[in-house]
């Protein structure tokens, strides 16, 4: 008999057949459902594709920054004279630290973290208004140049904390970031250009 109980079938099993698609779409609203779903999917995917294309463009900009840094700094110094070349270098790295998705773009939440790090006391409404003023194309993200413009609008004169000279001046947030970098796997560090 084996391990499973067996018994003869006394009645035939019930069989359920799905109605054909044409029979179920007798109402016009239901007949238009596939085309409506296609339009929704297209709108959703369009924003993802646009963000991907913008991310690739920003990655190309960051590569240009890396290869032609002195020329880029000369352009930026004309536009933002209050910052030094070292400030621009630090800002570029700060931007990459706050770029949580590695898209070379900052979303509003990432931007809030950056302002909190810079000890900005503005309200969320003010931050949103400033973010929207720079995000003119309504991408809900900003690139590095727009980030510089926003920091300039917030009048942050020294955009990143300098290395502490004494133990009392050490910033715990910087120390946490440095600690995370030192604990990073070598392959991960190389893939994020830490080495």
Nearest to 50 by CA among 58, 39, 61: 58
| Residue 179 and residue 85 in one domain | no
| Residue 108 and residue 137 in one domain | yes
| Residue 68 and residue 120 in one domain | yes
| Residue 138 and residue 93 in one domain | yes
| Residue 82 and residue 106 in one domain | yes
Nearest to 65 by CA among 147, 130, 182: 147
Return the structure tokens found at 93.
């790295």
| Residue 58 and residue 89 in one domain | yes
Read off φ and ψ for residue 183, nearest 5 degrees.
-85, -5
- The CATH number of residue 102's host domain is 1.10.238.10
Q: Are 149 and 134 in contact (CB under 8 A)?
A: yes
Return the structure tokens found at 7.
């018994």
Looking at 7-11, 109-113, 163-167, which range is the least confident one? Answer: 163-167
Nearest to 141 by CA among 65, 47, 8, 16: 47
Q: Is residue 96 part of a domain?
A: yes
- Total domain count, the chain: 2
Angle at 44 between CA 128 and CA 39, to 5 degrees: 130
**Full residue range of the structural domain in which residue 189 is found:** 164-195
| Residue 104 and residue 195 in one domain | no
Q: Please state, in angstroms and rounded to a whole number, the distance separating the CA atoms of residues 168 and 166.
A: 5
State yes or no: pLDDT of 79 exceeds 80.
yes
Model confidence, pTM: 0.57
> pLDDT band for position 96 (50/70/90)?
confident
Angle at 148 between CA 116 and CA 111, to 5 degrees: 35
Summarised one tens digit per residue, pLDDT across range 153-178 is 766 544 444 444 445 555 665 666 66
Nearest to 137 by CA among 40, 38, 57, 42: 57
| Residue 113 and residue 185 in one domain | no
| Residue 189 and residue 156 in one domain | no
| Residue 116 and residue 149 in one domain | yes
| Residue 127 and residue 190 in one domain | no
Q: Is residue 41 part of a domain?
A: yes
User: What pLDDT sits at residue 180?
Assistant: 64
Summarised one tens digit per residue, pLDDT across range 13-57 is 666 676 565 555 555 555 588 888 888 888 888 878 888 888 898
Q: Are 140 and 55 in contact (CB under 8 A)?
A: no
């Amino acid at each position: 008999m084996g391990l499973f109980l067996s018994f003869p079938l006394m009645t035939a099993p019930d069989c359920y057949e799905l109605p054909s698609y044409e029979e179920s779409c007798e109402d016009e609203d239901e007949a238009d459902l596939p085309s409506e779903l296609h339009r929704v999917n297209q709108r959703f995917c369009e924003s993802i594709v646009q963000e991907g294309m913008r991310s690739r463009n920003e990655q190309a900009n960051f590569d240009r920054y890396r290869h032609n840094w002195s020329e880029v700094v000369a352009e930026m110094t004309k536009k933002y004279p209050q910052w030094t070349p070292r400030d621009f270098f630090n800002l570029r790295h700060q931007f990459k630290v706050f770029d949580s998705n590695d898209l070379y773009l900052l979303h509003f939440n990432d931007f809030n973290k950056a302002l909190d790090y810079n000890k900005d006391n503005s309200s969320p409404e003010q931050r949103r208004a400033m973010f929207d003023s720079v995000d003119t194309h309504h991408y809900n993200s900003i690139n590095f140049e727009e980030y510089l413009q926003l920091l300039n609008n917030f009048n942050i004169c020294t955009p990143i904390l300098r290395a502490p000279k004494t133990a009392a001046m050490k910033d715990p947030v910087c120390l946490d970031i440095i600690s995370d970098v030192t604990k990073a796997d070598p392959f991960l560090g190389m893939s994020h250009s830490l080495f």
